[in-house]
Structure 1
Amino acid sequence: MCRWAAWQGAPLFLSEILTAPAHSLIHQSRDASECKTAINGDGFGLAWYDRRPTPGLYRDVYPAWSDPNLRSIADQVQARLFMAHVRASTGTATSRNNCHPFVHGIWSFMHNGQVGGFERFRKAADMMIDDAHYAHRKGATDSEALFLVACGMGLESDPKGAMERAVAAFEAKSRATGTTPHMRLAAALSDGDTLYAIRYASDDHAPSLYYRWNAVWQGWSVVSEPFETAGEGWTEVPKGSFCRFTPTEVEVSPFDASTSLEKAA
């Protein structure tokens, strides 16, 4: 399992979340507390938005705690919206192309979780990616494939519906293999204006997900686990939820892949 953090609001130095807190994302890369794997050392990545519509992207295969370039970037880069991820591989190789976030056009996406039996239907998953997006398939992860499938299912015009359809299609393939857990997902995605987050699972073990308004920084922190050990003021996202964060507001609605799952089965 992986750990990730995102920010939406007034411009903020990345270090305020990545390195400064007692339980920062970099600290979580070697001592996570709310996932089975405490160590998340199979690479890291950043995507950030400021004055351009497309995101900046920095990914590498080193453990986040050992890369001085990451700390330097975090100290100097200020962004109004950013996403950061530390990876614990569930089977695919440690390579830059397999590190999150994944970017296509103005969109960025990162994921924590797993799709049961993906190695058995990886070819079928790739075939779900339409021709317009397949050239952007660079790695081998279930996460990147899920993102590109969602891009082809209307992500730009209907982020929630596209993700429900893509998740349902993957869950249906997983159920067909008989491998559990079929789907566990805590994901974040953005078009540079709005930050979206999803918490979903086909069983009772959805990956953890929290958010909090920061009155001092004037924005939303959205995280796999709180970056203060006390954890005060954080709201846990209910399982089966789709969150929409603007710079000042949050909207939480049900995320239900079941209807799409019936069609995909």
Structure 2
Amino acid sequence: MCRWLAYTGNPVHLETLLFRAHHSLIDQSLHSRLGATTTNGDGFGIGWYQQPFDQPFRYRSVQPAWNDHNLRELSRAVAAPMFLAHIRAATHTPVQQTNCHPFRHGRWMFVHNGLIDSFPLVRRDLLVAIDPERFNSLEGSTDSEAMFHLAMTFGLEQDPVPALSRMVGFIEATARRQGIEHPVRMTVCASDGEQLVAVRYSSEGKSASLYHSTSFRHFYELYPDDSHIAAAGDNAYLIVSEPLIDLPRAWAQVPEATAVVVRGKQIDYRPFVPIEP
């Protein structure tokens, strides 16, 4: 499986969360505690938004995140108010740059931890359901990218949570016709630079871990002399595959079958129910 994080708040340097925290995403690439695999070394990617540019910037590599010196340099230089980062442990598909997250289309980016069970059996049926105008945007061969473009097909740009519900409902209906009982396991996050939309869901009700920060005050307490963390502001918000610091009161688990929508200071938690289109 994989590990990912999503941040929104005042602009912070990417290294603040990728490298500086005790159990940062880079540490998780070698020493994941809650993932299906301890090591997530099959590539990585980061995507970030900066005004006045509409399309997010992105850097992806097939190198292990802990061994990419360019990532360290870039993360020291770039500060952003919203970004997604992902470290990959490959399942069905090869290690290549086009299979590294985040996936991007227009203003939208998407990261995923999990899988579509028996993806090769249903891949063709899922791909032909993607809007023909979007089909040529497919670059890689992962189930994750297929999920992203299905969500775009089902209206991610207009109404994200229902679009993700229809995406999951369509995958489940398609897979169960092939006799696949529990086809979807996912924590996902999609963003357009204005909002973060994250979902924790699995067809069997046993989803991978997903947490959100309760307050950045706890980070300030743990790193009182770190001006980079202080710059995040009190309204900063993190969604992570696993906690970045060992401070239980700093984190809350996203409940099973739940969507989280973060837009500025507004944070909404909603039940997530698949809808067959």
Letter in 1 for 2:127: D
Partner residue in 1 for 2:23: 23
CA distance in 2: counterparts of 1:100 and 1:94, whole angstroms: 11
CA distance in 2: counterparts of 1:230 and 1:237, whole angstroms: 16
Tell me whether 1:239 sits opposite 2:256 in the alignment. yes
CA distance in 2: counterparts of 1:99 and 1:226, whole angstroms: 22
Partner residue in 1 for 2:8: 8
Q: Percent identity?
A: 39
CA distance in 1: counterparts of 2:201 and 2:37, whole angstroms: 19
**Equivalent residues in 2 for 1:50-129 (5 A)?**
50-51=50-51, 52-129=53-130
Would you say the 8 A contact 2:13–2:76 is kept in 1? yes
CA distance in 1: counterparts of 2:47 and 2:58, whole angstroms: 5
List structure 1 runs of 4+ shifted beyond 6 angstroms. Answer: none
RMSD, matched Cα: 1.2
Tell me whether 1:225 sits opposite 2:226 in the alignment. no
- Superposition deviation, residue 249 in structure 1: 2.5
* Cα distance change on mapping 1:214 and 1:74 into 2, 3 Å: same
Which 5+ residue runs of structure 2 have no aligned equivalent? 218-229
- Superposition deviation, residue 232 in structure 1: 3.1
Tell me whether 1:168 sits opposite 2:169 in the alignment. yes
CA distance in 1: counterparts of 2:264 and 2:252, whole angstroms: 17
Would you say the 8 A contact 2:216–2:250 is kept in 1? no
- Superposition deviation, residue 180 in structure 1: 5.1
- Superposition deviation, residue 49 in structure 1: 0.3
Letter in 2 for 1:225: E
1:216-252: CA deviation from partner (whole Å, max 9, x where unpaired): 4221011000011334320110111111112323110
CA distance in 1: counterparts of 2:178 and 2:31, whole angstroms: 33
* Structure 1 SS opposite 2:75: helix
- Superposition deviation, residue 204 in structure 1: 2.7
1:30-80: CA deviation from partner (whole Å, max 9, x where unpaired): 110001201100000001001112100110100000000011111111000
Letter in 1 for 2:266: E
Letter in 1 for 2:267: V
Equivalences, count:
260
Letter in 2 for 1:47: G
Would you say the 8 A contact 2:205–2:257 is kept in 1? no
CA distance in 1: counterparts of 2:140 and 2:61, whole angstroms: 13
* Structure 2 SS opposite 1:178: coil
Would you say the 8 A contact 1:109–1:187 is kept in 2? yes
**Equivalent residues in 2 for 1:138-177 (5 A)?**
138-177=139-178
1:116-148: CA deviation from partner (whole Å, max 9, x where unpaired): 111111111110111111010110011101111
CA distance in 1: counterparts of 2:81 and 2:247, whole angstroms: 26
* Structure 1 SS opposite 2:58: strand
Would you say the 8 A contact 2:92–2:119 is kept in 1? no
* Structure 2 SS opposite 1:235: strand
* Structure 2 SS opposite 1:155: coil
